[in-house]
């Protein structure tokens, strides 16, 4: 239910709709985009960042909330963990039960390794489950992995690591084939041709989808396969610190039972960090589209053990988060809504930008519209712009919204907003961690032997901005690769004596640098209970 002032603005949107239907808004030039980003993108706000005082990225900047966690001590500092009492002993330990972790576990199991997943919530409680729009792969006649590379490299501001991006685009079609063989129901024509659309910044229509439940369909299939293969999944159990051996190799992790508070020891010949993103740290007080457990735990574990971060200062704000109603504030409105033709329109009914610019440019453009230009629509929690969803039905016929984006329709109908008839209000939401732990082309960290990283916890695959549909792709491609590589490596690993020396030396370094932040890290769960909240 919209307020009276919102309804008044909707009438202006309706008044310009017919005229807008016939035109395509101009795309910005490279220079315009550059200036826009510098002036309005949150990555360029100096007060959102703090310097990291110790460790491999000492002297570099990270979001304040992440820096605080990097400057916090281990919760094990005051505990006495008996590393000789081993509760789990495996070849491959996968930390995280999202798309990357599940893919890794399936491939490691397929390769014959003894693999186990540990996850702080349930398997599938992950950003993968919430990815709506789709997954990219250059598998059509007019497309190629090279074109995909160019789109992703340019969209990421020419900062992606070439050896990582190469793997992403070259293994993309096989990732789709693998998922399809597992039974993922992709949208297809009657003859089997994949129904593909554009995403922001793509030059070919290569977005494959499963309605707007793309990630959910992939995740529930992967989860089912993990269970079918009887791969052990230890749920409601967090990894709180990596364990190393006396040769400096990773040797497992200390685990925390989230319900009983017990600590457990997992010994492993190889460890895959697949812990996902950081949206629940609410950088710069943004709402987030991320799941409850997205608290950057893997970054903290890896960094404390000596693994460097890459591009930890670049964050993706999804341009279209829900701005209204408040109950779903910050939830994702899939980019597919724009792929299907809905325009971004300001409060006076003007289409102020091309709807398919890259995410960083679109987010900055909406922020400009709502701030200095004063063209935003006021809401109880801030401002927003219109996403003119009725255009979709006009462009593609009645029933398109129900068929292609049923989750969006359902989410809004819960609050008596029918997006087929009325536009919806959106504003950028904290969506994705572009940066993360640095890995080589083989999936291993360069600093710690036998430690791998996959999925959103990796930095460098996408550069400084990620295109829609390349994240579902990267969790599959890099998850599968990590599983295979870890299983192969585990055959040759001999572990020495296990220790937690690194957490003590890290504490000492923090103290020397006078950088100790109060509290402990990793965070594990956000502080949402009223008595835990810091007043903002």
Partner 1 sequence: MENMVNVYFFGKKYSVPGDLTIMTAMEYAGYTLTRGCGCRHGFCGACATIYRIKGKNELKTCLACQTQVQEGMYVASIPFFPTDKRTYEIEGLKADQRVMMELYPEIYACIGCNACSKACTQSLNVMQYIAYAQRGELEKCAEESFDCVGCGCCSVRCPAGISHPMVGLLARRLTGKYIAPKSQHLEKRVAEIKEGAYDGLIEAIMQKPITEMEELYNHRDIEK
Quote the least distance from Cβ 440 to partner 1, whole Å. 15
**Binding segment for partner 1 among 184-192, 263-271, 468-476, 489-497 (CB under 8 A)?**
184-192
188 lines the binding site for partner 1 (CB under 8 A)? yes
Enter the tokens of residue 171: 């293994």
- Assess 181 for contact with partner 1 (CB under 8 A): yes
Query: Both tokens of residue 349?
Result: 């009914």
The two tokens of residue 117 are 């997943």
* Cα atoms in the 13 Å half-sphere on the side-chain side of 3: 10
- Single out the residue of 26, 58, 410, 497 in contact with partner 1 (rule: CB under 8 A): 410
> Which of 76, 258, 493, 520: binder of partner 1 (CB under 8 A)?
258
Q: Considering beta carbons, is residue 156 or 302 the nearer one to partner 1?
A: 156
Looking from the CA of 493 toward its CB, the CA atoms found within 13 Å total 28
Residue 320: phi, psi to the nearest 5? -115, 80
Q: How far apart are CA 531 and CA 126, in angstroms?
A: 26
The residue behind tokens 């999936």 is 443
Going from the C-alpha of 33 to that of each of 151, 152, 158, 346, 469, the distances in angstroms are 16, 16, 14, 19, 21
Of 85, 398, 377, nearest to 243 by C-alpha is 85
Q: Kindly tell me which of 163 and 398 has the beta carbon lying closer to partner 1.
A: 163
- Applying CB under 8 A, among 94, 129, 250, 485 the residue interacting with partner 1 is 129
Which of 71, 167, 318, 502 is flagged as catalytic?
Answer: 318
Neighbours of 61 (CB within 10 A): 16
Query: Pick from 407, 447, 516, 520: which binds partner 1 (CB under 8 A)?
Result: 407
Instruction: Indicate whether 277 belongs to the interface with partner 1 (CB under 8 A).
Output: no
Q: Which is nearer to partner 1, 23 or 190 (CB)?
A: 190
Site for partner 1 in 28-47 (CB under 8 A): 30
Tell me whether residue 338 is one of the annotated catalytic residues.
yes
- Of 530 and 534, which CB lies nearer to partner 1 in the complex structure? 530
Which member of 11, 80, 85, 230 binds partner 1 (CB under 8 A)?
A: 230
The tokens for 309 are 């971060």
Sole binder of partner 1 in the list 100, 113, 176, 401 (CB under 8 A): 176
Instruction: Work out which of 85, 285, 530, 536 binds partner 1, going by CB under 8 A.
Output: 530
What distance in Å separates the CA atoms of residue 276 and residue 297, rounded to the nearest whole number?
Answer: 8
Q: Pick one of 19, 371, 414, 505: the residue that binds partner 1 (CB under 8 A).
A: 414
Q: Computed over its alpha carbons, how large is the radius of gyration of the chain? A: 23
For partner 1, the binding residues in 320-359 under the rule CB under 8 A are 326-328, 331-332
Q: Could you give the CA distance from residue 372 to residue 135 in angstroms, rounded to a whole number? A: 35
Q: Could you say which of 289, 314, 346, 422 contacts partner 1 (CB under 8 A)?
A: 289
Please report how close the Cβ of residue 156 comes to partner 1 at its closest, in angstroms.
10
535 lies in the binding site for partner 1 (CB under 8 A): no
State the binding string over 191-220 for partner 1 (x if CB under 8 A, else -). xxxx---x----xxx-----x-x-xxx--x
Number of residues that bind partner 1 (CB under 8 A): 85
Least Å distance between CB 311 and partner 1? 16
Question: What tokens appear for 59 in the block?
Answer: 């002297």
Answer for which of 56, 87, 89, 173 binds partner 1 (CB under 8 A) is 173
Q: Cβ 6 to partner 1, closest distance in Å?
A: 16
Binding mask 153-172 for partner 1 (x = CB under 8 A): xx---x---xx--x--xx--
User: Alpha-carbon torsion 512, 515, 517, 523, what sign?
Assistant: negative
Location of structure tokens 């009223």: 530
The answer to whether 462 is a known catalytic residue is: no
**Residue 374 or 406: which CB sits closer to partner 1?**
406
Q: Which residues contact residue 46 at a Cβ distance below 8 angstroms, ignoring those fewer than 6 apart?
A: none
CA–CA gap between residue 152 and residue 154 (Å, rounded): 6
Measured CA to CA, the distance from residue 6 to residue 12 in angstroms comes to 10
Site for partner 1 in 86-125 (CB under 8 A): 121-122, 124-125
Q: Which of 258, 219, 261 is nearest to 237 (CA)?
A: 258
In the complex, least distance from residue 145 CB atom to partner 1, rounded to whole angstroms:
5
What backbone phi and psi angles, to 5 degrees, belong to 18?
Answer: -60, -40
Under the binding rule (CB under 8 A), the answer on residue 224 touching partner 1 is: yes
Please state the three-class secondary structure of 500-522 as a single string.
Answer: CHHHHHHHHHHHHCCCCEEEEEC
**Does 378 sit near partner 1 (CB under 8 A)?**
no
Stretch that binds partner 1, among 35-43, 139-147, 336-344, 513-521 (CB under 8 A): 139-147
Q: Which residues contact 2 (CB under 8 A, 6 or more apart)?
A: 10, 324, 417, 422
Interaction between residue 145 and partner 1 (CB under 8 A):
yes
> Contact, 469 vs 35, CB < 8 A?
no
Nearer to partner 1 (CB atom), residue 124 or residue 455:
124
Q: Return the residue of 2, 40, 49, 186 that touches partner 1, per CB under 8 A.
A: 186
Selected catalytic residue, list 304, 338, 354, 404: 338
d(C-alpha 266, C-alpha 493), whole Å: 16
Residue for token digits 């020495």? 496
CA atoms within 13 A on the CB side of 225: 26
Tell me, residue by residue from 42 to 81, as one string, x for binding to partner 1 by CB under 8 A and - for no binding. ----------------------------------------
Q: Which residues are catalytic?
A: 318, 338
């Amino acid at each position: 239910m919209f307020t009276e002032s919102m309804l008044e603005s909707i009438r202006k949107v309706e008044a310009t709709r017919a005229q807008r239907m016939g035109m395509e808004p101009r795309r910005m030039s490279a220079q315009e985009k550059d200036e826009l980003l510098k002036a309005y993108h949150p990555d360029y706000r100096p007060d959102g960042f703090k310097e990291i005082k110790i460790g491999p990225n000492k002297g570099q900047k990270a979001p304040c909330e992440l820096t605080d966690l990097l400057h916090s001590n281990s919760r094990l500092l005051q505990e006495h963990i008996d590393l000789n009492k081993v509760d789990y002993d495996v070849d491959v330990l996968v930390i995280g039960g999202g798309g990357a972790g599940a893919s890794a576990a399936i491939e490691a199991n397929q390769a014959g390794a003894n693999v186990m997943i540990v996850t702080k919530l349930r398997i599938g409680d992950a950003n993968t489950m919430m990815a709506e729009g789709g997954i990219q792969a250059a598998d059509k006649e007019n497309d190629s992995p090279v074109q995909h590379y160019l789109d992703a490299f340019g969209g990421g501001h020419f900062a992606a690591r070439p050896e990582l991006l190469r793997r992403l685009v070259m293994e993309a079609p096989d990732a789709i084939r693998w998922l399809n063989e597992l039974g993922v129901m992709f949208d297809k024509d009657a003859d089997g041709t994949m129904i593909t659309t554009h995403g922001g910044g793509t030059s070919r229509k290569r977005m494959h989808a499963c309605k707007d439940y793309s990630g959910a369909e992939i995740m529930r299939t992967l989860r089912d396969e993990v269970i079918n293969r009887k791969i052990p999944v230890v749920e409601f159990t967090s990894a709180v610190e990596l364990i190393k051996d006396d040769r400096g190799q990773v040797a497992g992790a200390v685990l925390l039972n989230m319900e009983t508070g017990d600590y457990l020891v997992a010994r492993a010949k190889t460890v895959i960090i697949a812990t996902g993103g950081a949206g629940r740290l609410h950088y710069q007080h943004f709402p987030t589209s991320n799941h409850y457990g997205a608290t950057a735990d893997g970054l903290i574990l890896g960094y404390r053990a000596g693994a460097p971060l890459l591009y930890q200062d670049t964050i993706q704000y999804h341009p279209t988060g829900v701005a209204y109603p408040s109950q779903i504030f910050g939830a994702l409105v899939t980019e597919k809504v724009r792929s299907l033709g809905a325009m971004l329109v300001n409060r006076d009914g003007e289409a102020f930008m091309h709807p398919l610019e890259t995410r960083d440019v679109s987010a900055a453009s909406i922020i400009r519209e709502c701030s200095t230009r004063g063209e935003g629509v006021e809401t109880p929690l801030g401002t927003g712009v219109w996403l003119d969803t009725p255009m979709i039905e006009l462009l593609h016929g009645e029933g398109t919204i129900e068929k292609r984006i049923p989750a969006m329709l359902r989410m809004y109908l819960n609050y008596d907003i029918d997006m087929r008839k009325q536009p919806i209000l959106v504003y950028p939401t904290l969506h994705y961690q572009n940066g993360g732990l640095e890995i080589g082309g083989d999936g291993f960290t360069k600093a710690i032997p036998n430690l791998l990283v996959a999925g959103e916890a990796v930095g460098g695959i996408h550069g400084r901005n990620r295109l829609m549909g390349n994240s579902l792709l990267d969790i599959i491609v890099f998850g599968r690769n990590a599983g295979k590589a870890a299983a192969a490596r585990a055959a040759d690993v001999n572990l020495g004596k296990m220790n937690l020396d690194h957490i003590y030396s890290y504490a000492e370094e923090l103290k020397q640098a006078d950088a100790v932040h109060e509290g402990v890290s990793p965070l594990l769960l956000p502080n949402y209970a009223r008595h835990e909240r810091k007043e903002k």
